[in-house]
Amino acid sequence: MKHRVAATACVLMALSAPAAASDLAESIQQDYDEHLGALWDHFHRNPELSTVEFKTAARMAEELRAAGFDVTESIGGTGVVAIMENGSGPLVMMRADMDGLPVEEKSGLENASRFQQEDPITGNLVYTMHACGHDVHITSLVGTARQMAARRDEWTGTLMLLVQPAEERVLGARAMRDDGVWERFGKPDYALAFHVSSSGVAGQINVQEGSPYAGADTVDIIIHGVGAHGASPHRGKDPIVLGSQIVLALQTLVSRELSPREPGVVTVGSFHSGTKHNIISDRAHLQLTVRNTNEHTRKVLLDGITRIAENMGRVAGLPDDKLPEVIISNESVPPVVNDAPLVRRLREAWTDAMGGDAVVDIPTKGMGAEDFPFFTQDPDISSVYWSVGGTPQEDFDREAAGGEPVPSHHSPLFKISPQPSVTRGVESTVVALLELMPK
């Protein structure tokens, strides 16, 4: 309650004295000192797991309402939609994901999380941590809401701020769409999102034409063998040997069938078979993750996995009705694909506002996936997904000199510098929104 009064007072103060565009960074820094820094601290200490982000969602609804938005809760589970109508013009959506992870924080931060929550998957009480930096995303979304409310005379259109649950389980975006978010609040003309990145220099904006996040498929391969005594292999069909051949043959898909300029990943993350030293099992189970950046690669990899698994079964002499079964999950995630002209437009706006050094174009090295594309495909919505660096330059220098490495996302050591991340998160978002909704 005490907090609510403080937030409202701060917004009223901002509303009565709207800052000019030129002092945007200064105004955001002031809001960080007065409100956003403490809000990040609160979210960082209290991370909630995917699908059960109840208190986080309630606090976000309260903050966005206090900033003057029309707020609707419980969309696709714990999702929140906040709308501000401000005259005619485009409908622009900005998304922030809010879930934490079942990780015990060992970052050494003063405000490290000691929060525990019942894991909805296992039922166990687990430590939780904002080990992916989603606390930066939601804090920045509040900062964006407060700036856009204070600058109503600088833009025209409708702003939709979307607080998404369960990104880490790639469930939340689809759940919000299935709950009719476009039908209820309007289909956006543009959709935006960013991720804070531990591999980026604190405060630096990285934006690429192309695909910053990969598409992902989950595949299971069931191998049917013929069980036998380990001393009589000629009496059986060994699924471990066949599975091993399949694992090795799968390595040729990326190396020999994809263009070397086309990224793809086939990882066998799990291989289970057998019970005892001297028993040839009758079954093996492989679990794969398969990554792509476009539909063509996806088809080459998935068709190739099926072809290799089935035909390696034939090589092993299995009859057609006992060939390995390939099960492709229907829980596929498409790649994030940025709209190239929109990237160029926003890059120019960001460079004008923050200077050329603040905006970089560094291709992503990994093939991580995101569920943001469920907002931007079917129907297609022009979108840009960028990243905001969260690690101080001195930490990279220390690593380069052979010191402690910069921890990755999802690590218990994960650590983001909140001030540059949140302020640049707000600044990059507000600059993009003002560019897309000019008066």
When CB distances to Zn ion are compared, the closest residue is 132
Backbone angles phi, psi at 116, to 5 degrees: -125, 145
Task: Quickly list DSSP for 6-26.
Answer: HHHHHHHHHHHSPPPGGGHHH
CB nearer Zn ion, residue 132 or residue 312 = 132
Does position 216 bind Zn ion by CB under 5 A? no
Return the number of other C-beta atoms located less than 10 Å from residue 71's C-beta: 20
Residues 355-384, interacting with Zn ion (CB under 5 A): none
Closest CA to 76 of 167, 210, 204: 167
Instruction: Kindly state the smallest distance separating residue 418's Cβ from Zn ion, in Å.
Output: 16
Q: What is the dihedral of CA 360, 292, 102, 327, to 10 degrees?
A: 180
Task: Report 256-295 residues binding Zn ion (CB under 5 A).
Answer: none
Can you read off the two tokens belonging to residue 321? 């009705």
Tokens of 119: 């894991």
Q: How many other C-beta atoms are found inside a 10 Å radius of the C-beta of residue 410?
A: 14
Question: Minimum distance between the CB of residue 42 and Zn ion, rounded to whole angstroms?
Answer: 19
Choice between 132 and 342, CB closer to Zn ion = 132
Nearer to Zn ion, 154 or 167 (CB): 167
Which of helix, strand or coil describes residue 316? Answer: coil
Task: Compare residues 46 and 164 and give the one whose CB is closer to Zn ion.
Answer: 164
CB of 51 to Zn ion, least distance (A): 15
Residues in contact with Zn ion, total (CB under 5 A)?
A: 1
For residues 129-148, which are near Zn ion according to CB under 5 A?
132
Distance from C-alpha of 410 to C-alpha of 430, rounded to nearest angstrom: 28
Q: Which is nearer to Zn ion, 197 or 423 (CB)?
A: 197
How far is 424 from 392, CA to CA, in rounded Å?
A: 13
Q: What is the dihedral of CA 403, 406, 410, 414, to 10 degrees?
A: 90
| 193 vs 300 by CB, closer to Zn ion | 193
Q: How far is the CB of 408 from Zn ion (least distance, A)?
A: 10
CB of 302 to Zn ion, least distance (A): 24
C-alpha to C-alpha distance for 114 and 126, rounded to whole angstroms: 10
CA distance 38 to 419: 11
> CB–CB of 214/405 below 8 Å?
no
> Which structure tokens are listed for 170?
């790639």
Nearer Cβ to Zn ion (134/347): 134
Rounded to the nearest whole angstrom, what is the least distance from the CB of residue 56 to Zn ion in the complex? 14
Q: Which two tokens stand for residue 67?
A: 């900033």
**Least distance CB 368 / Zn ion (angstroms):** 8
Q: Is 377 exposed, middle or buried (0-12, 13-18, 19+ CB in 10 A)?
A: middle
Least distance to Zn ion from the beta carbon of 296, Å?
27
Considering the complex, what minimum distance in angstroms separates the CB of residue 133 from Zn ion?
A: 6
Residue 133 or 203: which CB sits closer to Zn ion? 133
Q: Please list every residue from 113 through 132 that binds Zn ion, using CB under 5 A.
A: 132
Nearer to Zn ion among residue 132 and residue 175 (C-beta): 132
| Cβ atoms of residues 234 and 264 within 8 Å | no
Residues in the site for Zn ion, rule: CB under 5 A? Answer: 132
